[in-house]
A = this chain, B = another copy of it.
Amino acid sequence: MKKLLNRPDDVVRESLEGLALAHPDLLRVSFDPVYVARAGAPVSGKTGIISGGGSGHEPMHAGYVGRGMLDAACPGQVFTSPTPDQIEAATRAADGGRGVLHIVKNYTGDILNFEMAAELCQAAGIEVASVVINDDVAVEDSLYTAGRRGVGLTVLAEKISGAAAEQGWPLDRVAALCRRVNESGRSMGMALTPCTVPAAGKPNFELGPDEMEMGIGIHGEPGRARMPLATAAEIAAHMTEAILGDLPFRAGDRVIAMVNGMGGTPLLELYLVYRELERVLGGRSIAVARRLVGNYITSLEMAGCSITLLRAGDEMLSFWDAPVVTAGLRWGA
């Protein structure tokens, strides 16, 4: 295992210490239990928003803590759900008196632990609403998941819900908006290589030198098919058609599009995939209104990419454009 670390057991804590040192203006990190809170949180009178999940997907979620996005994040160990006490502490840190939205990716461990934490918080008088993100069209059930997995759309849901909360929306409306994002978006990913969880010390699956995994999960869960390596044009067409057919998207739709790198893919290649994506969408008369190209929800050093499309009207676009100041996403301020 070739990684920049000290002891595998200390990776998450030491990385979070680095995050705190690097962004004292944006966030603070607590270690017992572990959570990351926006500087100055809780913001009095604002609906709080938290998310969390296993580490190894950076910048998600701690990199999205800050103005206009998340009030707190609870990172678990690598590819491991955060514990209920972490989630509870993050919820308390985010509660400005108007309740807290939990944005939860659909993995069994995350769902159970967020539910348990929500009950604890509600018993303590904090209003909690939960939205489960399940945007991955690749497979219906999966390792760690009943139903569809939550992947790239989570980033878009956090941005858009975060903007609405920042503008003063109450919890029920922010939660409804977040649900609408989940209903209006779809994703799919693929991998060229596996990745290595530090504590495991060896790759999480194997791929032949001319193979790729189409429909990969963000923890290396199997996808739809192991296929011979194809061109970027073929890969983008395969994923995009699967996404478009599922919602379904229609001619005339406007979308927010994300081409996301899994962690080990050069930006040179991601922009090339974005070119292919726009070609497919153009052929279907779907207009890209906004886009992200880069590493936003990763799987350690896995090579590969995912595509997320969100059908967005004026309201979602205006929340998308609103200022955001986080380590991982920043514009307009």
Interface residues of chain A, those whose CB is within 8 Å of chain B, are 2-6, 11-12, 14-19, 21-22, 55-56, 58-59, 63, 78, 192-193, 209, 212, 229, 231-233, 235, 263-276, 278, 288, 291, 293, 295, 298, 300-301, 303-305, 330-333
Contact = CB atoms under 8 A, between A and B. Distances in A.
Find the residue from A3, A12, A56, A303 having the highest chain B CB count within 10 A: A3
B193 A2 contact: yes
Give the interface SS of chain A, mostly helix, strand, loop or mixed: mixed
Find the residue from A192, A266, A288 having the highest chain B CB count within 10 A: A266
Contact of A15 (B16, B17, B78, B271): B271
Copies of this chain in the oligomer: 2
A4 B273 contact: yes
A23 to B, nearest CB: 9
Contact of A330 (B6, B15, B330): B330
A19 B271 contact: yes
A16 to B, nearest CB: 7
Find the residue from A2, A19, A332 having the highest chain B CB count within 10 A: A2
Contacts of A266: 56, 58, 263, 298, 300-301
Contacts of A209: 2
Given A2-B212, A16-B271, A55-B268, 15 more contacts: A2-B192, A2-B209, A4-B232, A4-B235, A4-B305, A5-B232, A6-B272, A12-B268, A14-B275, A21-B278, A22-B271, A22-B293, A59-B267, A63-B267, A263-B266
Find the residue from A55, A276, A304 having the highest chain B CB count within 10 A: A276
Contacts of A6: 231-233, 272
A269 B3 contact: yes
Contact of A267 (B193, B295, B331): B295
Nearest to A229: B2
A174 B193 CA distance: 45
Contacts of A15: 268-269, 271-272, 275
A331 to B, nearest CB: 6
A257 to B, nearest CB: 9
B229 A291 contact: no
